[in-house]
Amino acid sequence: MRAEKLGTKVRQVQIAGAALQLIGAHGVRGFSLAMLARRVGLVPSAIYRHFGSKEEVLDAALDHLGSRLHHNLELVTEDASDPLERLHALLVRHVRLIRENQAIPRIIFSEEVFSGNTERKAKVRGIIRRYLEGVAETVREGQEQARIRADVDPRVVAVHFLGLIQPAAILWHLSDGRFDVTRQTERAWQLFRDGIEARGAAAPRARPRARRGGT
């Protein structure tokens, strides 16, 4: 019984991830459960063993996106002790997530997804709020280490950080990928870092990276 539940959870994650890919390619309106079933190698009726409707799949896709964002926060916290370098690594991972998932701007800015659905709006607000809290916590650590200016509000800096990504992501989406979102965010990062870095403070010594996977 325990293995069956684990298998169900894994399958649900696979379906949610596949849904994001299909929405990125076809939009919310062009996405269907039959299309999704073909992508994951199931018959359409099998999708209903995991999700009762297309709306539930959309909610699962949003949850999957939230998990990816939170996982990125965990990874950069493990890999970098310097809060400024951690923020830069998070920016790189966020841009990569957007480039690999064209569904993100399609979902976030889709009236069809949110129209009349206050619970879904609240879900997305919660995902973004949790992400911003993680960024703000990194800023606070930087202030404690005298790496980030003490006179800036961590919550304001967190929103500013998100602003490095979202406008560039919109232009990338509207240009069908022709706008160089990576180059733009790297240039914006330099300005952002210059604005928040404490002057005259030396970077802390890098800590050894934790081994993963037992190797």
| pLDDT value for 4 | 41
Q: Which residues contact 122 (CB under 8 A, 6 or more apart)?
A: none
- More confident site: 162 or 109: 162
Where do the domains of the chain lie?
54-196
Q: Is the pLDDT of residue 35 over 50?
A: yes
| pLDDT value for 204 | 59
Q: For the whole model, what pTM was predicted?
A: 0.81
Strand partners, 197: 148
Q: Is the pLDDT of residue 44 over 90?
A: no
**Element spanning 202, H or E:** none
Q: Of the candidates 154, 2, 10, 134, which has an alpha carbon nearest to the alpha carbon of residue 73?
A: 134
- Residue 136 pLDDT grade (very low, low, confident, very high; cuts 50, 70, 90): very high
In angstroms, the CA 197 to CA 16 distance is 39
Say if residue 208 is exposed, middle or buried (CB neighbours under 10 Å; 0-12, 13-18, 19+): exposed
Q: Which residues contact 213 (CB under 8 A, 6 or more apart)?
A: none
Tokens of 183: 């180059």
Query: Which CATH code for domain 54-196?
Result: 1.10.357.10
Per-residue pLDDT reduced to its tens digit, 148-205: 999 999 999 999 999 999 888 888 888 888 999 999 999 999 999 999 999 875 655 5
Per-residue pLDDT reduced to its tens digit, 4-18: 443 678 888 899 989
| pLDDT value for 25 | 80
Dihedrals φ, ψ of 148, to 5°?
Answer: -125, 140
| pLDDT value for 201 | 57
Per-residue pLDDT reduced to its tens digit, 49-105: 899 888 899 889 889 888 999 999 999 999 889 999 999 999 999 999 888 877 777
8 Å CB contact between 62 and 126? no
In angstroms, the CA 178 to CA 181 distance is 9
- More confident site: 1 or 189: 189
| pLDDT value for 210 | 47
Neighbour tally for 16: CB within 10 Å = 22
- Residue 109 pLDDT grade (very low, low, confident, very high; cuts 50, 70, 90): low
| List of E strands, the chain | none
